[in-house]
Amino acid sequence: MTQVLLIGCGRMGGSLLKGWRESGVVDRAIVVDPAMPFLPGTTIVASLSDVAGPLPKTILLAVKPQMLDQVLPGLKERLPDGALVISIAAGKTLAYFADRLGPSAAVVRTMPNTPAAIGRGITVCCANGTVGAQQRETTDRLLAAVGQVAWTEDESLMHAVTAVSGSGPAYVFLLIEALQAAGEASGLPPDLAAQLARQTVAGSGELARRSPDDPAKLRADVTSPAGTTAAALTVLMAEDGLLALMKRAVAAATARSEELAKG
């Protein structure tokens, strides 16, 4: 029987809870969130002190990073032996949790992204040395309810993960905005430009997900020599074009993640 204590149920915590309920991967969830409305089949309390009896041995922290210092002291006092703590708090390192929960606490640091809301996210995980094989399997099972799961043993890579997949949905949404604006600038009515931009990005993403070919091959398949797509790619793939711009953007996000981790 899988029981989970979910501390915080905002956008990402809510996506996880929804995924667990729909997949049946969690038998019982206890949610700690004072703003959470009644939800049939789920125990909801306003604070950790309101949880009666021993805490479940699987705990997922979904509060904002700045709230963790308020939450962790009370959690440490009641942390069950052999408990697994999964954090989705951006920038909070395994060392941060070891300092506040003790070095023997089994902690998995994760970085999910917002497509989890429709079960199409990806979450990257990094575990400390206390986390065992069964606890990794539990983590996989819980996070797979909202999308794909990947692991890295090098925690320093979590900054780049944050920059690519954590922040990445915003880049894609900006691409939709830009494509729509460019369509309007070329004379398309706003409604049609919006429809074309959204569906083109969504459909292309789904094609990339399903196809065994890499993106370069898919791009080449669309590009006829000396055609319209080739003309556009001459601009986008110029020395100062999209590739260079995206590298700069991801580097900036990575650097900011590193700054935030230092407090």
Helix (H, G, I), strand (E, B) or coil at 77: helix
**6 close to 36: Cβ distance less than 8 angstroms:** no
DSSP for 113-132, please give it.
Answer: -GGGGGT-EEEEEEE-TT--
pLDDT of 94-130, one tens digit each? 999 999 999 999 999 999 999 999 999 999 999 999 9
| Degrees to nearest 5, angle at CA 15 with 9 and 18 | 95
How sure is the predictor about 261, in pLDDT bands with cuts at 50, 70 and 90? confident
**Domain containing residue 252:** 168-261
Residue with tokens 């999964």: 86
Percentage of the residues of the chain whose pLDDT score is greater than 70:
99
Residues 183 and 162 in one domain: no
Let me know: does 113 contact 121? Beta carbons within 8 Å. yes
Confidence bin at 260 (pLDDT 50/70/90): confident
- Does the pLDDT at position 1 exceed 80? no
Asked which of 149, 166, 183 is the last residue of a domain, the reply is 166
Q: Domain check: are 151 and 188 in the same one?
A: no
180 lies in the same domain as 102:
no
Rounded Cα gap, residues 137 and 202, in angstroms? 31
Considering the domain architecture, whether residues 159 and 251 belong to the same structural domain is answered as: no
Boundary residue ending a domain (166, 198, 221): 166
Verify that 218 and 251 share a domain, yes or no. yes
SS3 assignment, position 4: strand
Contact 123, 110 (CB under 8 A): yes
Identify the CATH number of the domain in which residue 50 sits: 3.40.50.720
pLDDT tens digits for 41-90? 899 999 999 999 999 999 999 999 999 999 999 999 999 999 999 999 99
Please check whether residues 56 and 145 belong to one and the same domain: yes
Task: Report the share of the chain in percent with pLDDT over 90.
Answer: 95
DSSP labels for 167-181?
SHHHHHHHHHHHHHH
Residues 150 and 252 in one domain: no
182 confidence band (pLDDT: 50, 70, 90): very high
Domain boundary among 166, 196, 218: 166
d(Cα 65, Cα 261) in Å, to the nearest integer?
10
Question: Domains in the chain: how many in total?
Answer: 2
Smallest CA-to-CA distance from 170 within 125, 115, 122 is with 115
Mean pLDDT calculated for residue range 229-243? 97
Asked whether residue 71 falls in the same domain as residue 198, the answer is no
- Retrieve residue 48's tokens: 């950790």
Same domain, residue pair 147 and 184: no
Contact predicate 128/106, CB 8 Å: yes
CATH of the domain at 243: 1.10.3730.10
d(CA 221, CA 25): 40
The answer on 184 and 93 residing in a single domain is no
135 and 195 belong to one structural domain: no
Domain match, 19 and 107 both: yes
Q: Over range 231-258, report the average pLDDT.
A: 97
